[in-house]
Amino acid sequence: MVNLTGPRPAPLSLARAGEGESQHAREIRPTPDDVVAAARSWIGTPYHHQASLKGVGTDCLGLIRGVWRDLYGTEAERPPGYSRDWGEASGEETLIAAATRHLVRKDIARATPGDVLVFRMREGAVAKHAAVLATPGTIVHAIEDRLAAEIPFSNWWRRRVAAVYSFPGIET
């Protein structure tokens, strides 16, 4: 059996805070360009439910987890197993709750490249899809029956944005 959660790769070469700052301030400080580069490195990865292994398989959550590992070198949180219809089954905002635990919430109108977008696939449903905003007009995402790809951030997608987050420590 292939381990689809994958190894933990080394983080990207990122700028760090200055020597005179506290230990906490010396944490990795990714830039929006680092986030977009990490997300784009997943393009072409086949869709595989619950997976997060670049080039082998990923779903939308696996993509965000993989970008996190690319940036910080470790997993933020290992999610429990989940079914394809988990949102409909539970009715809970599980994806938004997890994003809020680890990412920095932003106003939807202030989304910029490098941000994580969380979507409701239909009105009134729980949020259950995520992507990285690559440019003002494109997103990188993984969706069932497709390879991870950079696609137009069309009005169809824009209408479904439920929340926007940035990765912690982002320097602009």
Expressed as residue numbers, the domain containing 122 is 28-75+92-166
Residue with tokens 């784009």, as numbered in its chain = 40
Residue with tokens 């979507």, as numbered in its chain = 119
In a domain, 80, yes or no: no
The pTM assigned to this predicted structure is 0.82
pLDDT of residue 17: 32
pLDDT of residue 81: 65
Q: Report how many domains make up the chain.
A: 1
What does the block give as tokens for 55? 């080039």
DSSP 92-132: S-HHHHHHHHHSEEE-GGG--TT-EEEEESSTTSPEEEEEE
In a domain, 42, yes or no: yes
Q: Average pLDDT of each block of 10 consecutive residues along the chain (172 residues)?
A: 40 34 51 98 96 96 96 86 60 89 96 97 91 98 97 98 96 72
The domain that contains 100 carries what CATH number? 3.90.1720.10
In a domain, 15, yes or no: no
Helical H segments across the chain, by residue range? 32-40, 60-72, 86-90, 94-102, 155-158
In a domain, 1, yes or no: no
In a domain, 64, yes or no: yes
In a domain, 122, yes or no: yes
pLDDT of residue 77: 83
Which residues, in sequence order, are bridge partners of residue 58?
Answer: 47, 52
pLDDT of residue 86: 53
In a domain, 6, yes or no: no
Three-state DSSP at 43 gives coil
In a domain, 146, yes or no: yes
In this structure, how many other beta carbons lie within 10 angstroms of the beta carbon of residue 14? Answer: 15
Q: Do the strands 149-152 and 138-141 form a parallel or antiparallel pair, or are they unpaired?
A: antiparallel
- Residue count of the chain: 172
**What backbone phi and psi angles, to 5 degrees, belong to 111?**
-60, 135
